Amino acid sequence: MKLITSTDGLAATCAQFATQPFVTVDTEFMRETTYYPKLCLIQIAAPDGSTALVDPLAPAIDLTPFFALMGDERVLKVFHSARQDLEIIWLQGGLLPQPFFDTQVAAMVCGYGDSVSYEQLVNDVAKAKIDKSSRFTDWSRRPLSEAQLSYALSDVTHLIKVYEALARQLLATDRGAWLDEEMAVLTSPETYRADPDQAWRRLAGRMRKAREIAILMEVAAWREREAQSRNVPRGRILKDEAVLDVATAAPRSVEALGRLRTIPTGFERSRTGAEILAAVERGLARDPATIPLPERGRPRSGGNGALVELLKVLLKAVCEQERVAPKIIATVDDLEALADDDEADVPVLTGWRRRLFGEKALALKAGRMALSAEGGRVVVRDLGEAPNG
Which among 294, 296, 207 is positioned nearest to 250, based on CA atoms? 207
- Checking if the pLDDT of 389 tops 70, the result is no
What is the pLDDT confidence band of residue 197, given thresholds at 50, 70 and 90? very high
Q: DSSP H helical segments within the chain, as ranges?
A: 7-17, 64-71, 83-93, 103-109, 118-121, 146-173, 180-186, 210-230, 234-237, 240-249, 254-258, 271-284, 305-322, 332-340, 351-353, 359-365
pLDDT at 301: 47
What is the pLDDT confidence band of residue 182, given thresholds at 50, 70 and 90? confident
Which tens digit of pLDDT belongs to each residue from 72-81?
999 999 999 9
pLDDT at 297: 43
What is the pLDDT confidence band of residue 137, given thresholds at 50, 70 and 90? confident
Contacts of 57 (CB under 8 A, 6+ apart): 40, 140, 142
Q: Is 352 helix (H, G, I), strand (E, B) or coil?
A: helix
Round to whole Å and give the CA distance between 8 and 21: 23
Domain 304-382 CATH assignment equals 1.10.150 = yes
Contacts 24+ apart (CB under 8 A), 254-257: none
pLDDT at 295: 57
What is the pLDDT confidence band of residue 4, given thresholds at 50, 70 and 90? very high
CATH number for the domain whose boundaries are 7-191:
3.30.420.10
**352 or 387, higher pLDDT:** 352
Round to whole Å and give the CA distance between 190 and 196: 13
Element (H, E) at 71: helix 64-71
The least confident of 58-67, 125-134, 156-165, 335-344 is 125-134
CB atoms within 10 A of CB 114: 12
Round to whole Å and give the CA distance between 25 and 74: 15
The torsion angles phi and psi of 322, rounded to 5 degrees, stand at: -90, -5
pLDDT at 221: 98
pLDDT at 305: 85
Q: Is 312 helix (H, G, I), strand (E, B) or coil?
A: helix
For the chain, domain boundaries: 7-191, 196-290, 304-382
pLDDT at 298: 45
pLDDT at 205: 84
| Largest interatomic CA distance in the chain | 78
- Checking if the pLDDT of 212 tops 60, the result is yes
Which tens digit of pLDDT belongs to each residue from 262-312?
999 999 999 999 999 999 999 999 999 999 876 554 445 455 789 999 999
Q: For the chain, give the percent of residues with pLDDT over 90.
A: 76
Whether the domain at 196-290 and the domain at 304-382 fall into the same CATH topology? yes
> Whole-prediction pTM value?
0.85
Q: For the chain, give the percent of residues with pLDDT over 70.
A: 96
Topology of domain 196-290, CATH: DNA polymerase; domain 1 (1.10.150)
pLDDT at 169: 93
- Does residue 201 contact residue 274 with C-beta atoms inside 8 Å? no
